[in-house]
Amino acid sequence: MKLLSILTFAAAVSAIKCGRNVYSEKQVKDADAAACNHVQGHTRAGKYPHVYKNHEGFTFNGLKGPFFEFPLLNSGIYKRGSPGPDRVIITQKCERAGEITHTGAKRGGFVACSGTT
């Protein structure tokens, strides 16, 4: 991983709950770092990361977009295939914006995971 990716995500992350899934600090930071590496390297894993348009109106702690979404998995880093329902959201500058999930949302939409506004 790029050093920049590791340093960018130094902010404290506690356990995150998305629907019935609970993610550790390490899982969230690893997904954030993978998303950052793809955004900065202009690469993709399957269809991710891609621009997240924030139709739901999350404030993401006042961070400014553009935002990118990337799958958050219980079993490693997303490479391809089914992305599951949960996502990390980062800015183009690789700032951690939050986590969102399709679980409990209207079809095609998202709701916030714990800690995301």
28-73 pLDDT tens trace: 999 999 999 999 999 999 999 999 999 999 999 999 999 999 999 9
Q: Which of 38, 69, 95, 99 is catalytic?
A: 69
Residue 45: Cβ within 10 Å count: 18
Q: Which of 38, 95, 99, 102 is catalytic?
A: 102
Which of 24, 45, 23 shows the shortest CA–CA distance to 35? 45
Q: Which of 38, 42, 50, 99 is catalytic?
A: 50
What pLDDT does 115 receive?
Answer: 82
Q: Is there a catalytic annotation at residue 38?
A: no
Does residue 3 surpass a pLDDT of 80? no
* pLDDT 10s digits, 89-115: 999 999 999 999 999 999 999 999 998
Task: Look at residue 117 and tell me if it is in a domain.
Answer: no
Domain extent, residue 47, equals 3-112
Does residue 117 surpass a pLDDT of 50? yes
What pLDDT does 1 receive?
Answer: 45
Q: Is there a catalytic annotation at residue 25?
A: no
- What CATH number has the domain bearing residue 81? 3.10.450.30
Task: Determine contact, residues 111/103, Cβ cutoff 8 Å.
Answer: yes
DSSP conformation letters of 2-42: -HHHHHHT-S----EEETTEEE-HHHHHHHHHHHHHHHHHT
Task: Look at residue 70 and tell me if it is in a domain.
Answer: yes
Q: Is there a catalytic annotation at residue 42?
A: no
Structural domains in the chain (count): 1
Task: Look at residue 108 and tell me if it is in a domain.
Answer: yes
What pLDDT does 94 receive?
Answer: 97
DSSP conformation letters of 52-74: E--TT---GGG--S-EEEEE--S
Query: Which H or E run includes 51?
Result: strand 50-52
What pLDDT does 10 receive?
Answer: 46
